[in-house]
């Protein structure tokens, strides 16, 4: 069935103040070399990545009911993300973040998230049915019933979760068929260390895939109807700023999934997209188009998946 969008998403929408410094973050202090302001947020940036890649994305999280105060929503529209389906509420504001980036591209994010999270519990099934994929993040615990309805309607739910708030997070993860998580969080949540053990601990019969991302070390994948656990190496690139790299990965993964690709193929596309994204400053400045991703994937020496031993 043809749908208006490839991906719907609700979750973090942020305004980022970015500070670049001349020393590693571990140094304790250093000189500011550059300041910038950008728009960010896990889900919001992932949806922008989808738009840059040529996909159709819609943000369905809370936005401000006053257009003049709706800074985050207006920027999403400028970046090609539809906001016409989003619920609106008085006083709804973006998260504010301060991001410190060192010369290696590593960063520390300090954020103030005392804002309205998730989406309206009154969001209709007609809205949810407008895409085959729903992207959520850790704030989706505020709208668990919406996630449950999306799964009941047959949407693939992709979760970008980096922390737990206890049983509510457990329930969201149980509703998710594509867990795409940082390896560090997966290890903490599962109580395992080896990537293959974490993949297996997070697996359930309702999963389509578990993907554990690990920055420059690549990622680890288990997918349905495949006895092999996979390691997908990262591209060898010079990182300028890793802000938004994970969001770009999630966006590209979601778009490939919406296009009917198998999870391992989604990871191949997402790995290429994220590798390009880290070569520019800011969370959205380096987001690639589809042609650039395809060229990256076709280049000599591009990484290929490797079976995990054991």
Residue numbers of the domain that contains 159: 7-297
Q: Which CATH number characterizes residue 206's domain?
A: 3.40.1190.20
| Residue with token string 């300090």 | 110
pTM reported for the whole predicted model = 0.93
Q: Which string of DSSP letters, residue by residue, matches 163-190? A: ---SHHHHHHHHH-SEEEEEHHHHHHHH
Q: What is the pLDDT of residues 184-228, one digit of tens each?
A: 999 999 999 999 999 999 999 999 999 999 999 999 999 999 999
- 308 lies in a domain? no
In this prediction, residue 310 carries a pLDDT of 60
- 2 lies in a domain? no
- For the chain, give percent helix, strand, coil, nearest 5: 35, 25, 40
Question: In a 10 Å sphere around its CB, with 0-12 CB exposed, 13-18 middle and 19+ buried, how is residue 287 labelled?
Answer: buried
Helical residues (DSSP H) of 17-105, grouped into ranges:
42-52, 71-78
- 92 lies in a domain? yes
- 306 lies in a domain? no
Question: Which parts of the chain have pLDDT scores under 70?
Answer: 1, 310
- 303 lies in a domain? no
Residue 170 to residue 162: CA distance in whole angstroms: 13
SS3 category, 260: coil
- 307 lies in a domain? no
Q: What is the pLDDT of residues 42-61, one digit of tens each?
A: 999 999 999 999 999 999 99
- 310 lies in a domain? no
Residue 22 to residue 165: CA distance in whole angstroms: 35
- 214 lies in a domain? yes
In this prediction, residue 106 carries a pLDDT of 87
User: How many structural domains comprise the chain?
Assistant: 1
């Amino acid at each position: 069935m043809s749908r208006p969008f490839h991906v719907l998403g609700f979750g973090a929408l942020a305004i980022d103040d970015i500070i670049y410094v001349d020393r590693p973050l571990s140094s304790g202090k250093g000189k500011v070399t550059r300041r910038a302001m950008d728009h960010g947020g896990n889900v919001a940036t992932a949806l922008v990545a989808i738009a840059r890649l040529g996909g159709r994305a819609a943000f369905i999280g809370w936005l401000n009911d006053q257009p003049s105060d709706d800074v985050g929503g207006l920027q999403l529209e400028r970046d090609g993300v539809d906001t016409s389906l989003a619920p609106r509420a008085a006083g709804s504001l973006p998260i504010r973040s301060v991001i410190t980036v060192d010369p290696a591209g590593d960063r520390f994010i300090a954020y103030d998230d005392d804002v309205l999270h998730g989406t309206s519990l009154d969001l209709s099934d007609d809205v949810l049915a407008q895409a085959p994929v729903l992207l959520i993040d850790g704030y989706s615990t505020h709208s668990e019933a919406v996630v449950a309805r999306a799964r009941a309607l047959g949407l693939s739910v992709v979760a970008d979760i980096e922390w737990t708030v206890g049983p509510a997070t457990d329930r969201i993860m149980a509703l998710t068929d594509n867990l795409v998580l940082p390896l560090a969080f997966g290890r903490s949540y599962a109580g395992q260390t080896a990537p293959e053990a974490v993949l297996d601990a997070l697996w359930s019969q309702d999963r389509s895939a578990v993907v554990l991302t690990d920055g420059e070390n690549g990622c680890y994948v288990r997918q349905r109807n495949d006895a092999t656990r996979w390691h997908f190496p990262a591209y060898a690139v010079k990182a300028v700023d890793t802000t938004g790299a994970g969001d770009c990965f999630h966006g590209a993964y979601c778009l490939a999934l919406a296009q009917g690709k198998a999870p391992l193929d989604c990871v191949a596309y997402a790995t290429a997209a994220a590798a390009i994204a880290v070569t520019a400053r800011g969370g959205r400045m380096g987001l690639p188009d589809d042609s650039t991703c395809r060229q990256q994937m076709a280049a000599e020496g591009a990484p290929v998946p490797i079976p995990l031993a054991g």
